Amino acid sequence: MQHRKLINRRCDEDVKNSLRFRQSETLNSAENISKYGGAFLALKDGDTMRILITGASGFIGSALTKHLLEQGDYEVRAASRDPSQISLSAEHLELAQMDGLEPDGDWRTMLKDVDCVIHCAARVHVMHEKATDPLAEFRRVNVAGTLALARQAQTLGVKRFVFLSSVKVNGEESQRGAPFRADDPPSPSDAYGVSKLEAEQALSTLASIGEMEISVIRPVLVYGPGVKANFRSMIRWLDKGVPLPLGGVTHNRRSLVAIDNLIDILTLCIHHPAAAGQVFLASDGDDMSTTEMLRRIGKALGKRAPLLSVPPELLRLAARFLGRPAVAQRLCSSLQVDISKNQALLDWIPPVSSDVALSRTVEAYRRGV
């Protein structure tokens, strides 16, 4: 019988197969366990694992929750500030009420009998920032709040903590031909990126004094069915035939990651021994210029993208004049990542191509998703 539990915190098909965790004999072999030093092994047949997902009603958290339930190998405890937004019902799903990500938060009830935490909740970019000290607020939630959750998880015997970080830890802009790598020196340039870096560092320190393993994923811009914000706006403009002055932005390279690909590597990091103590960048491995990206979206829409060829320098100048230099920076500069480490350590290659993912994104947009 299907059921959903609401825990009060204060009381304390090609694609589906490709997304399943690779539970191969090679991965579970004594040779690989010895090689990687990880103690967190794949499930035995018939076993289930309890996963706590924070931020489970968000774009990434909801997709991850749905995917893990579809696999049948997991009991999912989905934590959200508003569990009513989680429109899923399954035998192995529990909904949990979280009051936010506070430094003094009590997570003990939600962490009971949990094997792995996937921490997606965070204070993200605020368009109209009201905090008098944004960095302090980012630190309070993303650093202190994360560490409070992780400390309690470690105390209660959670085996692995998968932290959803951000490519902003690496920086805002990569040089052409020199993509960011996971082990590059970090260079965040805004308060959000700084807070994510400091959270990573705090988790690393915590792992060094306990037995809970930490894995960190830094995604680039995530898109897919249900995407909101600027990416959805671009789809809408192209669908309406609005001419965009971005036909001349052909020399930059931007990395993107489809939601299915991000969910795939997050799921892999639940189990893979080599993921312990590592940072991974997540992308589709198919970098493109801004112009090419818009043309591919147009193709998915079945339309020719109406692009005007305006020199990037003129776009930057206009954006500065309008007080929106950051917009031009994102559209005209490069932000490219190298995911070769993922293949080397995890044998991970993105299972869904960019074109397929863009088509699915557009299909969902047309359905109003």
Instruction: Show which residues are catalytic.
Output: 192
Closest CA to 39 of 279, 293, 322, 277: 277
| 3-state SS record for 341-369 | HHHHHHCCCCCCCHHHHHHHHHHHHHCCC
- d(Cα 163, Cα 266) in Å, to the nearest integer? 9
Q: How far apart are CA 63 and CA 97, in angstroms?
A: 18
Q: Do β-strands 93-97 and 213-219 pair in parallel, antiparallel, or remain unpaired?
A: unpaired
Structure tokens at 227: 């995407």
Q: CA angle 277-195-140, nearest 5°? A: 115
Alpha-carbon gap, residue 149 to 264, rounded angstroms: 24
> Are 96 and 80 contacting, i.e. CB atoms less than 8 angstroms apart?
yes
**Which of 60, 71, 249 has its CA nearest to residue 163?**
60
Q: How far apart are CA 13 and CA 30, in angstroms?
A: 32
- Based on its alpha-carbon atoms, the radius of gyration of the chain, rounded to whole angstroms, reads 21
Q: Is the dihedral of CA 41, 155, 117, 89 positive or negative?
A: positive
Distance of CA 153 to the CA centre of its chain: 21
CB 61 within 8 A of CB 82: no
